[in-house]
Amino acid sequence: MYEYTDECLDYFLANQDRLFREPVAETREDAAAFLEECMAEVVPSLEEVRAYLDESGMDVSSMSDEELEDQAEVFRLPDDSYLIVEG
């Protein structure tokens, strides 16, 4: 079980509409449960985002860093780490 920081959970709650039409969580507890269920990961760098998505089968070889950050499932957190949520 992964422990998501309050900052991560708050950011996901405020920005979940990037990935979902309707809210999937309303509280930190809901967000943590949803992220655990999705097996969402927090990684420290964009290079690790690229590696994660590549391992997941997404062709990211021709994507720029900006294009990678613009992917709906990639959330750049305020501490410059990245939350990856595969919805």
Cα separation of 45 and 82, whole Å?
7
Give this prediction's pTM: 0.92
DSSP state letters, 33-73: HHHHHHT-EEESSHHHHHHHHHHTT---TT--HHHHHTSTT
Q: What is the pLDDT of residues 17-71, one digit of tens each?
A: 999 999 999 999 999 999 999 999 999 999 999 999 999 999 999 999 999 999 9
75 beta partners = 83
- The half-sphere exposure of 8 on its side-chain side, counting CA atoms within 13 A, is 24
